[in-house]
Structure 1
Amino acid sequence: MSFAEIWLLAVSLAIDCFTVSVTSGIILHRIRWGIFLKMAFFFGLFQAAMPLIGWAGASSFNHLIEAYDHWIAFGLLAFLGIRMIRSHFREDEEQCCFDPTRLSVILTLAIATSIDALAVGISFAFTGFNTLASLSYPLWAIGIASFVISVTGSIIGVFFGKRFNLRMELFGGLVLIGIGVKILIEHLLQNH
């Protein structure tokens, strides 16, 4: 893979992180650097770790991972999306189920948005990345791109949330479910 191809791959893997970060920024309505950096860190970490796991397990677990990864991603994103939609229709904001400041929510989102990266790691094993050293640059690129794009998305979300006074739990829930459906459909169509 060329330098440009690695960075294009890294940015394309980070698009789901960007979308989730924008939604979280809109929900928070203000810049919260600690939360944004924590979210970006875990998004970058999981986006970089999943290809490593996929690469390492490609030879022995390839058939098991590819058979279920899209269902896992869909299930996690649909679960969070439904919780966000439910919180939109609740009268009392304190009863909100989707709280992007909670570590458990951040970790769930990081795992769900990085499932595609697992499949990329599997493909790395079959496209000439034979050693961990050869894989280190793409992993760093993926992690850095996801981190930067996530922070940028959170800030953009805050700007739009303030500017248009948006309450985005409904939209955010639909976006999460949409990302899950997209992942599911892409994988199902690939196998046919």
Structure 2
Amino acid sequence: MSPLALLSLSFAMSTDAFAAAVGKGASLHRPRFSEALRTGVIFGLIESITPIIGWLLGRSASTLVENWDHWIAFAVLTGLGLHMVIEGCKHQETPEAVIQRHSFIRLALTAVGTSIDALAVGVGLAFVEVNILLAAGCIGLATLFMVTTGVMVGRSIGSAFGRRTEVLGGVILVLVGAFILNDHISFV
């Protein structure tokens, strides 16, 4: 795989994580760069592990993963997104309701939902000549950069729109899940 193809693949794999990160950043109360970086690291690590898992699965049972990856991503992202919409609708604009930081579990589940496509890419990479560790590392670094940037972009949106941004973030997660599902169904 050429360096340009690997770079393109890396950033393509991080676009849905970027969209989810914008929603996460928008739902926080003025997230600091350290929180954006923490989110980027969590997403980047998970996004770099999933193609390796996919590559290993691709060596043994590729059709199992390819047939279900989009449904898993859709279910995880839609569930998290609907939870954010419900939470955003029931919270009042009070200091106690302001979210300063997302839990590790919430971030990790969102990252898993957005990295299911990287799992499928890993399956595909099992059938071509590629250094999977290099590819996974590049995907992880691109995701770290895109997610950190996405949280900071979300911060700007959150400042402009207040608590309603948690609802917006939830809607973004549901839409990302729907786009993943649509992309896979339309190619069938």
TM superposition score normalised by structure 1: 0.88
Question: In the alignment, does 2:173 pair up with 1:173?
Answer: no
* In 2, Cα distance between equivalents of 1:155 and 1:172: 13
Q: Helix, strand or coil for the counterpart of 1:176?
A: helix
Q: Which moved more, 1:174-183 or 1:84-93?
A: 84-93
Task: Name the counterpart of 1:23.
Answer: 23
Q: Helix, strand or coil for the counterpart of 1:88?
A: helix
* In 1, Cα distance between equivalents of 2:100 and 2:106: 7
How many residues in Structure 1 have an aligned counterpart in Structure 2?
Answer: 186
Q: 1:152 aligns with which of 144, 149, 152?
A: 149
**Moved >6 Å (runs of 4+):** none
* In 1, Cα distance between equivalents of 2:85 and 2:102: 17
TM superposition score normalised by structure 2: 0.89
* In 1, Cα distance between equivalents of 2:100 and 2:187: 34
Matches within 5 A, 1:1-192: 1-92=1-92, 101-129=102-130, 134-165=131-162, 167-191=164-188
Contact 1:26–1:157 at 8 Å: present in 2 too? yes
* In 1, Cα distance between equivalents of 2:27 and 2:158: 7
Cα deviation for residue 163 of structure 1 reads 4.0
Q: Helix, strand or coil for the counterpart of 1:30?
A: coil
Q: Which moved more, 1:27-36 or 1:12-21?
A: 27-36
Q: Helix, strand or coil for the counterpart of 1:123?
A: helix
Cα deviation for residue 167 of structure 1 reads 2.6
Q: Helix, strand or coil for the counterpart of 2:60?
A: helix
Contact 2:47–2:139 at 8 Å: present in 1 too? yes
Cα deviation for residue 146 of structure 1 reads 0.3
Unmatched runs of 5 consecutive residues or more in structure 2: none
Q: CA deviation digits over 1:116-159, x for unaligned, max 9?
A: 00111011111223xxxx22221111111100111111111112
**Change in CA separation of 1:99 and 1:190 when aligned onto 2, cut-off 3 Å:** farther
Question: AA paired with 1:51?
Answer: P
Q: CA deviation digits over 1:49-88, x for unaligned, max 9?
A: 1111111111322111111111111000010111111122
Contact 1:22–1:154 at 8 Å: present in 2 too? yes
Contact 1:160–1:166 at 8 Å: present in 2 too? no
Unmatched runs of 5 consecutive residues or more in structure 1: none
Q: Helix, strand or coil for the counterpart of 2:164?
A: coil
* In 2, Cα distance between equivalents of 1:100 and 1:114: 21
Contact 1:11–1:146 at 8 Å: present in 2 too? yes
Cα deviation for residue 190 of structure 1 reads 2.0
* Identity among equivalent pairs (%): 33
CA RMSD of aligned residues (A): 2.1
* In 2, Cα distance between equivalents of 1:92 and 1:167: 10
